[in-house]
A and B are shown apart, each in its own frame.
Chain A
Amino acid sequence: MPNFRVNGLSDDELKRAAAQAGLALRVDELRRIAERLGRDPSIVEVHAFDAQWSEHCSYKSSRHLLRKLPTEGPTVMQGPAEDAGILHLGEWNGEKWGVVIAHESHNHPSQVVPFEGAATGVGGIVRDVLCMGAEVIAVADPLRFGRVEDPQSHQRYVAQGVVDGIAAYGNAIGVPNIAGDLYFDERFDDNCLVNVVSLGLLKENEIIHSAAPSNSAGWDIVLVGKATDASGFGGAAFSSVTLDEEDQDANKGAVQVPDSFLKNVIMRASYAVFRYLRENKITAGFKDLGAGGIMGCTAELCSSGGFGAIIDLDDVNTAIKNLPPEVIAIGETQERLCWVLPGDVTPHVLRIYNDEFSLPQVARGACATVIGAVQSEKQYVMRHGNDIVMDVPIEFLTGSIRDELPIRPMSERKVTDPARKYVVGEHSVADLLPKVLAHRDICSREPLFVRYDGVVRGTTVIPRGYANAGVIAPVQGSPLGVALSVAGNPRYGKVDPVLAAQYAVLEAVRKVVAVGARPLGLTDCLNFGNPQNIEHYSEFAHAIDGLALAARELGTPYVSGNVSLYNESKTGNAIPASPIVACVGALQDVAAVITSPLKRPDSTLFLIGRPHNAAGGAVFAELVEQTGGPLAPIDYDRAAAEIAFFRAASDGGFLLSARSIGNGGLLAALCAMAFPTLERSAIGVRLTGPASWTGGVVGELEAYFGEGGGFVAETAQPDALETIASDGVDLIRIGQTQNAPSLALESSQFDLRELHRIWRAPLALVYP
């Protein structure tokens, strides 16, 4: 078996040899491997370590920081230890139901080949949920693109290809897309962000773990899915380096090829296997193949059970003859999963995949097949032909390696001039509101989400466009509801990564609260620049502190997450700090759900929350060219009190409609509530002057467009609502709904139909 020469080479020679072989491993890491093995590693081994020790798999520069995140609480069924976390949804018919959630990024591949990159992103996250033994019930997509104004630009190509890829894959597998968000910024020109969130449903006693079970020595390792080919070789390492414009063609080989058709069948076949195992009370291990391919998956499966493994690469179903062993072992061909099964169960499972669901007829070379066995000796061994091509201590391969990189303390961050810079009176609300509504981060998202199937499965209660969060009723015959939201504002990330992280949590939580749900828990996907750069690594480290603080204050633990570093091009264009958070909420009865469309004329509108003069990161501040000011600070006592009050009001049935306030502030929220009514009997809004509800201490523009948060709510019982408000809550009457399609402010009046036209137009240019 050929070796990769380490011993006897100088550091410079080794560095060159590694680069030539396309390895991301550093010289010190290569020497560590050779030292531990007591010999030069084989070609297969060196590629295995390259994948397994990449940031993507090992979290080497993030794991110790991520430990700061709160991960426990009464809502947690299973924390962040496996491919996905699980939250307690509620009880129904004496059974405890859990919601599985996973959150990942597929940023680098989507920048290079947008359609395939985004599609495989959906495919990967769905497998993470599936392999917990869950039925996949929803997906969501937070997206960040560069400047798309030029129709010929790569950025436009990326923005369109990503959405088409998500649509093609998600629609075909039959999982509704119920939430998402979309922002644009020039700092995403070279690195788009494609995050995907997926939800699954299971009963507590049905969880299948991503580990070889305790008594599994000698059990079969069964590979299921697409025939292994040469696609996606080096994918994990590719995700852990910066993107170089000139390498883009070379990088395409590292991107996997999705097959949503095969996945559709594999999902359904796996559901049948779940039923078989449950009926026969069989414990098994199940895990999806992602980074590091067969090697990464089987090594982690067996290592987390405390075992080793022997894999025979000749038994892998390949699409092409004579693939090099390192490609079979480590390539990231999509649509594959791996079971650890007792030998007498294997034939039944193979029958379900290969005969009942006829995988070999569905896709050429696809099947379920035995490729190896679990062994008690903690050694990871791979055979190919007559050779042992890999033989390493399994814990050395999968154990945590750690890079503690330097962090700059917080206090050194520059805080720019907090004072108001624009001239009061120079910008009128009448001028600004249409511009805010047409802003690329505010305008209607319908041209995008109309391409996604939001209603397949027949469980959808709130599809996209009708509330801050999507809601489904996934448990057949039960009124239990699941709400899902995402948040993470890159304009905030540019101003203050720490506060941006806190706002991502607060906004995600508020969004599920706004539909009447009880927040259960969170996931985070941390999209940042190159960790070798002290500025970016410090942003990353401090943002985690922000995520931890906000989650503790609001009592919402994290159950899964993902880190995507190196979102930087070689020219140094790094993305803004982009911590993106998803929040899952529960509804005891979906009949009590609250949507944002206004419900009736002459009801009362309340602001729940306190307007603030700080306007950093707000859309209107960008429009009046006031950049760099601080974000509004977060008062957690007030925020928590507002959320508690809102929940009491929604549980008490006092609210007709509501929306959380974020992007574009109060007026953007009110417009989003009024616009859907234009289709039928239009309901408009009449507000009193902001001086009367802010006590005159907050400017008019800040009151209307400030993004400090809170909720706006419509009620027919204003007095009753006021009586249940406790002292710590700012509950402010700001106006009434009216039986006319207009938005009437003290200073100006708007035709809602005209505003609606302005709001709908911009994104339709990108997504015709």
Chain B
Amino acid sequence: MAAKVAVLVFPGTNSETETWRICRDVGLDARIVHWSQAATLPQFDAYVLPGGFAYEDRIRAGAVPAHDPMMDYVIEASQKGKLILGVCNGAQILLEAGLVPGTGPVRRPTAAFTHNGPVPHFVCKHVHLKLAVEPSRCAITAALAKNALIPAWAAHGQGRLAATPEHLREIMQGGHLAFVYAHADGTVNEAAVPNASALGCAGLTNREGNVLAIMPHPERDAWNYNHPDRRDTGDILAPSGGVKLYAALAEALNLA
């Protein structure tokens, strides 16, 4: 039986449909769960927090939804070792909830995904996520190749990792820096980073490796029609490109 995945919708979430579609396309039993249905959350095997502007980014992106009752269930599930993936606004919520890098108490964030640099405005740009830890370091990435490159769209106004120098060192040394931004050929440099994020950070994981927070959207470059290089390769509607990350999530859930 396919693993049951909840795609969470907070007031202001806007990417639930494509996130649900790609989860379904990799064989997961995905359901969209609204904030008024929070009580149904314990029955799921894994949780995906999609992009958007939950609670309209009040205070800071992710800060208010981190305290939504839905997150009580997500935090409890994370402590039980269930898999949790946050994308864009979902990543911001996981960071504000203290689930990544997870080095402090719950709901006491130690770092932030905050206003992009050098000029603080929304950026919609095609990017590549590069796996910066051993695949097995995080359960969700375990099925990926070493240094895997995943195409995705950065589409956010607050994606720059900001933390104290000491905490950034802790993130590096603890193996929390799961993904960095890279060029299409895998090169990593400043020009590949769309938002001046510290460490070139595109994604973080927790100590246990069951929570993954990534800023760019692999699900927006996840079918052949989404990308010029793949439009003439077979079925135009087939999942491809960014699907890799969701396929890895499905594989992790199927093994569990």
Contacts and interface: CB of A to CB of B under 8 A. Distances in A.
Interface in B201-256: 217, 219-226, 228, 231-232, 236-237
Contacts of A357: 34, 36
B36 A453 contact: no
A362 B231 contact: no
Nearest to B53: A172
B226 A173 contact: no
Contacts of A358: 11, 35-36
A579 to B, nearest CB: 30
A454 B124 contact: yes
Interface stretch (B12-20, B92-100, B169-177): B12-20
Contacts of B223: 458
A199 B244 CA distance: 31
Contact of A477 (B11, B14, B124, B237): B237
A680 B184 contact: yes
Contact of B123 (A264, A450, A466, A473): A450
B119 interface: yes
A460 interface: yes
Interface string A581-603: 00000000111010101000000
Interface in B106-140: 119, 121-125
Given A167-B122, A589-B236, A768-B119, A261 B56 contact: yes
B21 interface: yes
A466 B228 contact: yes
Contact of A455 (B55, B121, B153): B153
A479 interface: yes
Contacts of A167: 121-122
A478 B223 CA distance: 12
B12 A261 contact: yes
A451 interface: yes
Contacts of B224: 591
Interface residues of A, number: 45
B68 to A, nearest CB: 11
Nearest to A452: B124
A451 B122 contact: yes
A453 B155 contact: yes
A424 B255 CA distance: 75
Contact of A355 (B9, B36, B125, B219): B36
Contacts of A456: 14-15, 18, 51, 155, 220
Interface in A318-356: 355-356
A27 B148 CA distance: 74
B156 to A, nearest CB: 9
A122 to B, nearest CB: 14
A174 interface: yes
B205 to A, nearest CB: 24
A476 interface: yes
A264 B53 contact: yes
B225 A590 contact: yes
Interface in A445-501: 449-461, 463, 466, 473, 476-479
A452 B156 CA distance: 10
A466 B153 CA distance: 15
Given A172-B56, A261-B53, A455 B14 contact: no
B184 A171 contact: no
A270 interface: no
B86 interface: no
A458 B236 contact: no
A737 interface: no
B11 A458 contact: no
A734 interface: no
Given A167-B122, A357-B34, A457 B18 contact: yes
B21 A174 contact: no
Contacts of A466: 228
A766 to B, nearest CB: 12
B117 to A, nearest CB: 12
Interface residues of B, number: 42
B14 A461 contact: no
B90 interface: no
B184 A173 contact: no
A171 B236 contact: no
B102 interface: no
A476 B124 contact: no
Nearest to A362: B11
A687 interface: no
A264 B14 contact: yes
A715 interface: no
Contact of B53 (A171, A454, A455, A463): A171
B22 interface: yes
Contacts of B225: 461, 473, 479, 590-591
Nearest to B55: A261
Contacts of A260: 53, 56
A-side interface mostly: loop
B159 interface: no
Interface in B42-73: 51-53, 55-56
A457 B17 contact: yes
Contacts of A362: 11
Contacts of A454: 124
Contacts of A473: 225, 236-237
Given A456-B51, A477-B237, A261 B11 contact: yes
A595 B228 CA distance: 8
Contacts of A450: 123-125
Contacts of A461: 225-226, 231
A260 B54 CA distance: 11
A432 interface: no
A203 to B, nearest CB: 17
A361 B69 CA distance: 14
A725 interface: no
Contacts of B17: 457-458
A265 interface: yes
Contacts of B123: 450-451
Interface string B21-44: 110000000000011100000000
Interface string A80-120: 00000000000000000000000000000000000000000
B155 A593 contact: no
A264 B34 contact: no
Nearest to B219: A458
A261 B52 CA distance: 10
Given A172-B53, A590-B236, A451 B231 contact: no
Contacts of A171: 53, 122, 155, 157
Contacts of A460: 220, 226
Contacts of B56: 172, 260-261
A356 B35 CA distance: 8
Contacts of A457: 15, 17-18
A453 B12 contact: no
Given A357-B36, A680-B184, A591 B231 contact: yes
B7 to A, nearest CB: 13
A357 B51 CA distance: 18
Contact of B12 (A265, A455, A478, A595): A265
Contacts of B217: 455
Given A355-B36, A591-B225, A595-B228, A451 B14 contact: no
Given A450-B123, A455-B217, A456-B14, 7 more contacts: A172-B52, A452-B122, A455-B124, A455-B220, A456-B220, A459-B18, A461-B225
By Cβ-Cβ distance, the 10 closest A-B pairs, closest first, are A174-B14, A458-B18, A261-B56, A591-B236, A455-B220, A172-B53, A455-B153, A453-B155, A458-B220, A362-B11
24 contacts: A164-B121, A171-B157, A172-B14, A172-B52, A261-B55, A355-B36, A357-B34, A358-B11, A361-B11, A362-B11, A451-B122, A452-B122, A454-B124, A456-B51, A458-B220, A458-B226, A459-B18, A460-B226, A461-B226, A461-B231, A589-B236, A591-B236, A593-B231, A680-B184
Interface of A: 164, 167, 171-174, 260-261, 264-265, 268, 355-358, 361-362, 449-461, 463, 466, 473, 476-479, 589-591, 593, 595, 597, 680, 768
